[in-house]
Structure 1
Amino acid sequence: MTSAILPPLPVQPPGVDWPTLSWSRGPLPPSVDAERLARLIDHGFTDFEETHAVVVVQGGRLVLDRYGPAHGPEATCLSWSMAKSITHALVGIAVGDGLLDIMAPAPVPEWRSPGDPRGAITTDQLLRMSSGLRFSEVYEPDKTSDTIEMMWGSGKADVAHYAASQPLDHPPGTFFSYSSGTTNIICRILADVTGLRGEAFAAFMRERLFEPLGMRTPVPKFDPAGTFIGSSFCFASGQDFARFGLLYLRDGVWNGRRLLPEGWVDYARTQTFQQAGVTDDPYGAHWWLGLGGEGSFSANGHEGQFTLLAPDLDLIIVRHGRTGAALKDALKVWMGEMAAAFRT
């Protein structure tokens, strides 16, 4: 699960407290043009419809945070698909516990009939959005959308069953197609291998992931079948998403305790095959790649939710808000410019 070409992950600097209780605050580095950064922040809060929170951490210290109207440090913000990266962490915990082999065929009941080609799909391929399953990841209600049908239509009672019932359009591992459905299949696999659903699984999330990091605000959502809707719904504050980002920037180790298996973060940021003609950004395993420059990786969510990690800068940038599709690309450029402001 490692790659020699990945940039190294930084360690917590000596003398900087882990933010389990509260963030250590620090000044901006002298190399940062403070006026340029201030202009970028103003741009971020005035030109992208609604911005609810921007949190910047460098060297393990909170160096900048700003909040929109009716928001503040403890305000719970939308996650949308940033929850997928939280799902990646939960899979890592299950792997570390010996409950799951991601390279083996995924344990999915709908695919167990003899001769069903879906039975060859691995959990790795689900994490890499390369299962080959049919799924229309569309958010406009006037278009055919498996995402909307799964979460608010006929599939809402059992989101994983809806996704797992889709036919195979491509041989597993040969075709990249971003799909919230595959994440919810993974979440039901987690429920099955742990034997936990609903509030019991939420308690597992708190005990094994959130509480060790000092994340006090997460609100995971579950379908009526008790499956964590890890494609879309784990709301938390901007500062708590920064804590989650710091866990990944520190290679899955928190204050001397390894929470994620060795190599799991490198697995997340190792690029997935994408066929010619794909217009999506590079992808790893439930993390996007390159938003903040070479070697960066990020948890991205609908309407402009981001937790961006730049290992070469020991930098985390969290942005929450509500930004429509027309400004999606401009917002991604802004995120890149925010990271670049620390690179000069």
Structure 2
Amino acid sequence: MTDDLLADFVRADQEQDLGAYGIHVHQEGKPPIEHRFRSDDRVNLYSVAKTFTAVALGLAEAEGRLTLDDRLLDHLPELRPLAADGFEDVTLRHLTLMTSGSGLRWHAHERIDAADLLHDIVAAPLVAAPGTRYAYTGTGPYAVGRVIARATGANLRDYLLPRLFQPLDLHNPAWHCCPLGFPFAESSLFLTTSELARFARLLLQDGEWEGRQIIPADFVRGMVADPVATGYRGHLSYGYGFGVWIGRDDTYRMDGAYGQFAVIAPAHRAAITVTAHSTRDADLLTAVHDLVLSRLAP
């Protein structure tokens, strides 16, 4: 349903050509509110996928399969001969926070020519000590996905199917893979607006879904407890947490290219989810905050 809450957002999208496909507003104790600008088809969530990968890491830790501060090479010891100086200190936490110090930049839309992308990731010289510098790249989440596959015996998507996707009724989601068959982890997961909204609601509820604790509550709260500085300014980012961005108005969010957003607002007990193809994604995010979130009763 659409109501007056979204009227100004809908008008802004049309007048400013913001490119939204749909918006879904969940606030605890109230019926959901949504507006579709087109059919609710599955779309590439781009870097929103990083949040799913971070959660997979938390689930694997809760099962005792690994810890966030394990070193990558402890799980993949055969890569030690390839590793650049200093890489032996890179942990799964560093990779998820994108503070590994690696100088290699790669994202899922780029062609992979290496026989194994992970070899290139491990061999790339470090430009900073692990944990000391943030640099936006898809290499860390991809490497984390590979560790999850080694530690659990299932690739990232298959690992999440019974633990996350099926409980949220996210039926058979597509997640594009590298040439070796491993999900890209940092991008290329396809869901609808309403499906992503369920995941956003799960995080708002500290990992609880219909009476079942899907994700440990301590892990969900920890995703925003100690963000790293990114060097970015303005309301778009006040730091990067564990697979999520710290936003304005005491929020945090999943954030993908071209306007894939899921804004979690604990103070309002609300989650606002948008999918889009926007070349003005900063303006789209501003509209979410100014024309929707700010008008929700706390």
Q: Which residue of 1 aligns with 2:103?
A: 134
Spell out, residue by residue over 1:261-300, the C-alpha distance to the aligned partner (whole angstroms, 9 max, x if none). Answer: 241111211232327x444721111101124x11x11100
How far off is 1:109 after superposition? 4.5
How far off is 1:40 after superposition? 1.8
Q: Is the 8 A contact 2:47 2:255 kept in 1?
A: yes
Alpha-carbon distance in structure 2 between the residues aligned to 1:66 and 1:161: 45
Equivalent residue runs for 1:1-344 within 5 Å: 34=4, 37-59=6-28, 61-69=30-38, 71-72=39-40, 75-106=41-72, 107-109=75-77, 112-113=80-81, 116-136=85-105, 146-147=106-107, 151-155=110-114, 158-197=116-155, 201-216=156-171, 218-274=173-229, 277-279=231-233, 281=237, 282-291=239-248, 293-294=249-250, 296-324=251-279, 327-337=280-290, 338-343=292-297
Alpha-carbon distance in structure 2 between the residues aligned to 1:110 and 1:165: 13
What letter corresponds to residue 233 of structure 1 in structure 2? Answer: S
How far off is 1:256 after superposition? 2.2
Alpha-carbon distance in structure 1 between the residues aligned to 2:118 and 2:17: 33
TM-score by length of 2: 0.88
Q: Is the 8 A contact 2:84 2:124 kept in 1?
A: no
What letter corresponds to residue 98 of structure 1 in structure 2? Answer: G
> Share of identical aligned residues, percent?
24
Structure 2's unaligned 5+ residue stretches are none
What letter corresponds to residue 340 of structure 1 in structure 2? Answer: S
Q: Which residue of 2 aligns with 1:3?
A: none
Question: Which segment drifts farther, 213-222 or 280-289?
Answer: 213-222
Alpha-carbon distance in structure 2 between the residues aligned to 1:311 and 1:255: 18
Spell out, residue by residue over 1:48-104, the C-alpha distance to the aligned partner (whole angstroms, 9 max, x if none). Answer: 4422111111116553211223x23xx212200000001111111111111111112
What letter corresponds to residue 133 of structure 2 in structure 1? Answer: F
- What CA RMSD, in Å, does the superposition of the two structures yield over aligned residues? 2.5
How far off is 1:151 after superposition? 3.5
Quickly say closer, same or farther: Cα 1:42–1:184, change in 2 above 3 A. same
Quickly say closer, same or farther: Cα 1:49–1:329, change in 2 above 3 A. closer
Alpha-carbon distance in structure 1 between the residues aligned to 2:29 and 2:138: 31
Alpha-carbon distance in structure 2 between the residues aligned to 1:202 and 1:182: 17
How far off is 1:129 after superposition? 1.4
Alpha-carbon distance in structure 1 between the residues aligned to 2:132 and 2:178: 30
Alpha-carbon distance in structure 2 between the residues aligned to 1:299 and 1:179: 15
Question: Which segment drifts farther, 37-46 or 260-269?
Answer: 37-46
Alpha-carbon distance in structure 2 between the residues aligned to 1:194 and 1:60: 38
TM-score by length of 1: 0.77
Aligned residue for 2:296, secondary structure, equals helix
Aligned residue for 1:209, secondary structure, equals helix
Runs of 4+ aligned residues of structure 1 deviating over 6 Å after TM superposition are none
Q: Which residue of 2 aligns with 1:143?
A: none
Quickly say closer, same or farther: Cα 1:202–1:208, change in 2 above 3 A. same
Q: Is the 8 A contact 2:12 2:18 kept in 1?
A: no
How far off is 1:47 after superposition? 2.2
Structure 1's unaligned 5+ residue stretches are 1-24, 29-33, 137-145
